[in-house]
Amino acid sequence: MPIIEDQLFRRIKKQTGQAIGDFNLIEEGDRIAVGISGGKDSYTLLHILDSLRRRAPIRYELVAVNVDPGFPGYRKDHIEAHLREHGFTYHLESTDCSAIIDAKLRPGSSYCAFCARLRRGVLYTVADRLGCNKLALGHHLDDFIETLLLNQFYIGTLAAMSPRLLADNGRHTVIRPLVYVEEARIVEFSERNAFPIVCCSCPVVGAADQKRQRMKQLISELAEENPQLRRSLIGALGNVQPRHLMDPRLTPFAPLGKRPDMV
Ligand SMILES: Nc1ncnc2c1ncn2[C@@H]1O[C@H](COP(=O)(O)OP(=O)(O)OP(=O)(O)O)[C@@H](O)[C@H]1O
């Protein structure tokens, strides 16, 4: 079934194009690995990037990459059928992440966070092998602002995510082109196009991250009073006023010689 190119599609495409321009996410000659989990966000990302690519003034390539974490029952065949039906170039990577987690997860550590780190490592390796210089992930506006609040409420730091980040290995650039797209629009888009959603089938699936759920709920409640709330929070990430913060690495409070390294 072809993608429905209605107003919702055009809106998501426009917001994605805006982010690509604002943060210089895509450049001439890029070969981009698009991480496809089988979830709504990454299917949306792939279809929108592909549509933008067809009309783009620059040339870039997309390769959909799925990492099979190795949990029994993971329906990667559904993902593959969708990628094939829509004519995407794709690669499916089988892994034994599940066995590694069972063997190495330390008591008290987060199952999902450990799994995500392993998957990210595999994505970098596969991107290298496929000659991709960038890795696109499906994080959207709500992921950014929930992370911003989580970090403030529970970690004590003012940080969220970057739409464009050079990976620690110094080789790959991670891009998040859906930064301006609200999750609710992605849910609608995914349902309207009947994307074949595949769950990771891990042992803790369904045990949602309680703190993130709490942030989601809080944002939804406050957004009822202030419909601009999400836009305001995402805007705040691009409008930092260091003089009105209290990080000594940003503002030289102490006399010279006693100052911490500036960032
Ligand atoms: N198994 C996987 N294979 C390839 N890429 C993945 C995989 N899991 C996650 N990703 C990438 O990392 C992004 C963030 O992953 P996360 O687990 O937070 O998923 P999510 O927010 O539920 O998104 P989605 O709806 O795409 O699953 C995804 O949007 C996708 O681009």
pLDDT of residue 92: 97
Residues 109 and 6 sit within 8 Å (Cβ to Cβ): no
Q: Which residue has the higher pLDDT, 107 or 71?
A: 71
pLDDT of residue 204: 83
Q: Whose CA is nearest to atom 29 of ligand 1?
A: 138
* CB-ligand 1 contact for 66 (6 Å cutoff): yes
Per-residue pLDDT for 168 more than 90?
no
Kindly report, residue by residue over 109-120, the tens digit of the pLDDT: 888 888 999 999
Per-residue pLDDT for 140 more than 80?
yes
pLDDT of residue 201: 87
Per-residue pLDDT for 206 more than 80?
no
Kindly report, residue by residue over 207-233, the tens digit of the pLDDT: 768 899 999 999 999 999 999 999 999
What is the C-alpha separation between 146 and 129, in angstroms, rounded? 33
Kindly report, residue by residue over 225-256, the tens digit of the pLDDT: 999 999 999 999 999 999 999 999 998 888 88
Instruction: Look at 23-37, 47-61, 244-258 and tell me which has the smallest mean pLDDT.
Output: 244-258
* CB-ligand 1 contact for 42 (6 Å cutoff): yes
Q: Is the pTM for the entire model greater than 0.90?
A: yes
Specify the CATH superfamily of domain 7-241: HUPs (3.40.50.620)
* CB-ligand 1 contact for 15 (6 Å cutoff): no
Neighbours of 241 (CB within 10 A): 7
Find the mean pLDDT for residues 153-182: 95
Rounded to the nearest angstrom, the distance between the alpha carbon of 119 and the centre of ligand 1 is: 9
3-state SS, the chain, equals CCCCCCHHHHHHHHHHHHHHHHCCCCCCCCEEEEECCCCHHHHHHHHHHHHHHHHCCCCCEEEEEEEECCCCCCCHHHHHHHHHHCCCCEEEEECCHHHHHHHHCCCCCCHHHHHHHHHHHHHHHHHHHCCCCEEECCCCHHHHHHHHHHHHHHHCCCCCCCCEEECCCCCCEEECCCCCCCHHHHHHHHHHCCCCCCCCCCCCCCCCCHHHHHHHHHHHHHHHHCCCHHHHHHHHHCCCCHHHCCCCCCCCCCCCCCCCCCC
pLDDT of residue 171: 84
Rounded to the nearest angstrom, the distance between the alpha carbon of 205 and the centre of ligand 1 is: 14
What is the C-alpha separation between 122 and 70, in angstroms, rounded? 13
Amino acid (1-letter code) at residue 247: D
Question: How far from the centroid of its chain's Cα atoms is residue 140's Cα?
Answer: 6
Rounded to the nearest angstrom, the distance between the alpha carbon of 35 and the centre of ligand 1 is: 6
pLDDT band at 11 (very low <50, low <70, confident <90, very high): very high
What is the C-alpha separation between 21 and 77, in angstroms, rounded? 35
* CB-ligand 1 contact for 138 (6 Å cutoff): yes
Mean pLDDT of the chain, nearest integer: 94
Q: Whose CA is nearest to atom 17 of ligand 1?
A: 116
